Amino acid sequence: MYDNDCEERPTRRLPKREPVESLSLARSGALLDYEQTGERLGVSARMVRRLWERRELMAVKVGRHVRFTEAEIARFIRDNSAGGAA
Q: State the DSSP string of 51-80.
A: HHHTTSS--EEETTEEEB-HHHHHHHHHHT
Number of compact structural domains in the chain:
1
- Mean pLDDT over residues 36-52, rounded? 96
In degrees to the nearest 10, what's the CA dihedral of 21, 76, 72, 19? Answer: -40
Domain-embedded: residue 4: no
pLDDT in tens, 65-82: 999 999 999 999 999 988
pLDDT for residue 14 is more than 60: yes
Distance CA 6, CA 12 (A): 18
- On whether residue 72 sits in a domain, the answer given is yes
Does residue 58 sit within a domain?
yes
Residue 54 lies in a domain: yes
pLDDT at residue 53, as a whole number: 95
Where residue 33 sits, what CATH number does that domain have?
Answer: 1.10.1660.10
Return the bridge partners of 60, or none: 67
State the pLDDT confidence band at 3, using cuts at 50, 70 and 90: low
Backbone angles phi, psi at 68, to 5 degrees: -115, 140
Write down the pLDDT at residue 22.
45
